Homo-oligomer: A and B are copies of this chain.
Amino acid sequence: VANDLELSTPAYVVLGMVGLGARSGYEIKRTVDLSIRFFWTISQAQIYPSLGQLEAAGYITGRDEPLGRRPRRVFEITPEGERALRVWPESAGELPFELRDIGMVKLFFADALDPGPARALLGAVRRRSDERAALLRSIRPTAEGAEEEGNVFPGLTLEMGIAFHEAMVDACDAFERRISREG
């Protein structure tokens, strides 16, 4: 069995999702879209090759389990896979926080704008974070359900998302108060 293989982050995400009980490629994609999509995305075209890699490495085992005549391949994590998943967070040194936000870029250049459009842009960025925070708050019951089954960390990442979008809204409000005070 291969050990300490160099796996890409998408492959670890797939491994982690299989570890949490996602069985098929399709289910992994759906689970990602319902959980970590706010800080990590993955497309179908990455999932199926990753599944192949992970199986070749002995980190998951797959078997055909068609539903009627519809083909389907389901996977389970192996003990080596669980070990790899536990070792992963310890290994890597750096934890890059990569943010790509066109809204903030536009705001950065907004001094070139007239007051009206500038305020509109600020409002759009504020609204975006406000809506995102509301969406994340609506997921809280699901996270609380997971906590009762012993998974407390998904709730932490959810609270982080809520916290930073609320912080963005607050920063927009503070700025708006300041510019309307100063004229």
Residues of A at the B interface (CB closer than 8 Å) are 9, 12-13, 16, 19-20, 35-36, 38-41, 82, 85-86, 88-90, 92, 95-114, 117-118, 120-122, 124-125, 128-129, 132, 150-154, 156-157, 159-160, 163-168, 170-172, 174-175, 179
Query: Which residues from B are CB-within-8-Å of A132?
Result: 97
Query: Which residues from B are CB-within-8-Å of A95?
Result: 101-103, 106, 124-125, 128
- Copies assembled: 2
CB contact between A167 and one of B101, B104, B163 (< 8 Å): that residue: B163
Q: B102 to A99, Cβ gap below 8 A?
A: no
The DSSP consensus for interface residues of chain A is helix
Q: B19 to A109, Cβ gap below 8 A?
A: yes
Q: A160 to B104, Cβ gap below 8 A?
A: yes
Q: A40-B104, A41-B100, A89-B106 are in contact. List 17 more A-B contacts (CB 8 A).
A: A9-B102, A9-B105, A19-B109, A85-B109, A86-B117, A89-B113, A89-B117, A89-B121, A90-B117, A99-B100, A108-B153, A109-B153, A159-B171, A159-B175, A163-B164, A163-B168, A164-B167
Query: Which residues from B are CB-within-8-Å of A9?
Result: 102, 105
Q: If A109-B19, A164-B167 touch, does A101 touch B39 (CB 8 Å cutoff)?
A: yes
